Amino acid sequence: MNKGKKYTDSGIEIKKNYDYADVYKTPAPKGFEQHAGKFPFTRGIQADMYRGKLWTMRQYAGFSTAKESNRRYHYLLSQGVNGLSVAFDLPTQIGYDSDHPLAEGEVGKVGVAIDSILDMEELFKGIPLQNISTSMTINATGFILLALYVAVAKKQGADLSKIQGTIQNDILKEYAARGTYIYPPKPSMRIVTDIFEWCSKAIPKWNTISISGYHIREAGSTAVQEIAFTLSNGKAYTQSAINKGLDINIFGKRLSFFFNAHNNFFEEVAKFRAARRMWAKIMKDAGATDEKALMLRFHAQTGGSTLTAQQPLNNISRVTVQALAAALGGTQSLHTNGYDEALNLPTEEAAFIALRTQQILAFESGIADTADPLGGSFFVEKLTDEMEEAAWKLIETIDKMGGSVAAIEQGFIQNEIAASAYAYQQKIESGDKIIVGVNSFTTDQAMVASSFKINDNIRRQQSNKLKKLKSKRDNKKVVSCLKQIKDNAIHNKNLMPVVIEAVENFCTLGEISDALRDVFGEYK
């Protein structure tokens, strides 16, 4: 990015930041937030925002085998992506190897199949992990995928103190909205704090969690519920880490968030601004004093649930509006969905258009030239206040119940999301909410999108690879590693070092998950 002077196409100079005095020629009233980069960060976490550094442009990708996904990553990198975002298939997400009976029909379908370090090496073949930021959407098995990533980085000779990226690692929203959990809440929270503790020393630039409102919104929540439930979960993770004796000023810097971007443009911008302000206050109240531990850094993804199978090319416009809201709301990284994702995994063409959408916004629209361009708008400022007020009321209700874990165990959060989803669907069916091409402006003419299907032979390929691996590895060492994992789990010792040793000795993801199932049990 050019950090020098900026001008409009008409030659008018653009300041890095605009405030009250620029418009009204008088000092700002008390309490008016004038600048980005200052507590409570309503206007952004950096003083010059994208003028200093653009958001990271990611494209969420992963399907079939590691080899196929690697090819897509190289393509995306060649087109200007500067951060990878990995999708894993359902068996990987819930701790089953590809040859497990419950993996039947799901291997490689909604993400890439990863069974062992051999797959992870192939996934990142030709991609130096020290030089790329990688986000991995993985929760229950996040610690295993992180161990695999670290093991591959070590084999590449990377300096672990320099590797950057994020694991989602947000298990609470799995119980509330998504369902890819394995273990009960308490041992799951223990694994999360093990990751916090280990990463703070071993890979200090790694974001140890991406506290996710995205899936809460995809399940049907409102924008207010999205930030309220997400920040409540963030409070729970923070308190769990504090209870373990971790320093909030250290682990707090590596917390990140993941939000949805929907079509109601101004509400979405206000949502991001309100969330940033609220989190700064939450962390300050929890004892954080380091400014970076007070900052809410977030990744945004355009709304998958807003995409329509009818008239799919309309989704390009929807994604553009949503991406614009995320950028004007101050996101640190962004994924734009492919227009065909209501029908299938995104084709290469759809991923290309989605990436170019971000690049056009970044380099042609002028939105990156000044911090918080909508700051000071009467509507946006008032809406930010109202979003915050409504979200605090929900958080107070959750706090009275004993926090997020208790609210989830009592079904409160799940019921609130379900009620909102039902009410929204009723509005669509009654016509009160117009969805272009679905319940209004429909046509009999079919608009066909290219299809992208996954080869049904993936499971057999992965199973054969596993069989070969198990016949060649040192199985006595495997047994020893799995026993050590169980021992650490029983005696409350950090799991990360022994899991890394296990994957380096060719233990599979399913074997490690099963070892902990034996200790922790499964959540039903």
Q: What residues form DSSP beta bridges with 56? A: 333
pLDDT of residue 449: 67
Helix axis angle, 412-430 to 378-401, nearest 10°: 140
- Cβ contacts of 40 within 8 Å, gap of 6 or more: 33, 276, 277, 280, 281, 294
Evaluate whether 393 touches 229 at the Cβ level (below 8 Å).
no
Can you tell me the distance from the alpha carbon of 296 to that of 40, in angstroms, rounded to the nearest whole number? 10
Which residues partner with 165 through β-bridges?
A: 134, 206
User: In a structure prediction context, what are the per-residue pLDDT tens digits for the chain, which is 524 residues long?
Assistant: 456 899 999 999 999 999 999 999 998 888 787 889 999 999 999 999 999 999 999 888 888 899 999 999 999 999 998 889 899 999 999 999 999 999 999 999 989 999 999 999 999 999 999 999 999 999 999 999 999 999 999 999 999 999 999 999 999 999 998 899 999 999 999 999 999 999 999 999 999 999 999 999 999 999 999 999 999 999 999 999 999 999 999 999 999 999 999 999 999 999 999 999 999 999 999 999 999 999 999 999 999 999 999 999 999 999 999 999 999 999 999 999 999 999 988 888 999 999 999 999 999 999 999 999 999 999 999 999 999 999 999 999 999 999 999 999 999 999 999 999 999 999 999 999 999 999 999 998 776 666 766 777 899 999 999 999 999 999 999 999 999 999 999 999 999 999 999 999 999 999 999 999 999 999 98
Question: Is the link from the previous residue into 497 a cis peptide, with omega within 30 of 0?
Answer: no
In order of 30, 500, 517, the CA distances from 385 in angstroms are: 16, 45, 45
CA distance 221 to 420: 6
Angle (deg, nearest 10), helices 265-285 and 378-401: 50
Residue 1: predicted pLDDT = 45
Chain CA centroid to CA 202, Å: 22
What region does 25 belong to: left with phi over 0, alpha with psi -120 to 50, or beta? Answer: left
DSSP summary character for residue 452: -
Query: Would you say 268 and 325 are in contact if contact means Cβ atoms under 8 Å apart?
Result: yes
Q: Burial letters for 226-246: b for 16+ Cβ neighbours within 10 Å, e otherwise?
A: bbbbbbbbbbbbbbbbbebeb
In this predicted structure, what is the pLDDT of residue 464? 97
Give the pTM.
0.93
Say which residue the tokens 């999708």 belong to: 87
Q: What whole-number distance in Å separates Cα of residue 150 and Cα of residue 117?
A: 10
Burial class (CB in 10 A: 0-12, 13-18, 19+), 142: buried
* Distance separating alpha carbons of residues 157 and 142, to the nearest angstrom: 22
Which residues fall within 8 angstroms of residue 418, CB to CB, at 6 or more apart? Answer: 220
Residue 405: per-residue pLDDT: 93
Q: Which residues are paired to 257 by β-bridges?
A: 211, 298
Q: What is the CA radius of gyration of the chain?
A: 23
10 Å Cβ neighbour count for 444?
Answer: 4
- CA separation, residue 237 to residues 234, 255, 290, 394, 493 (Å): 5, 9, 18, 18, 19
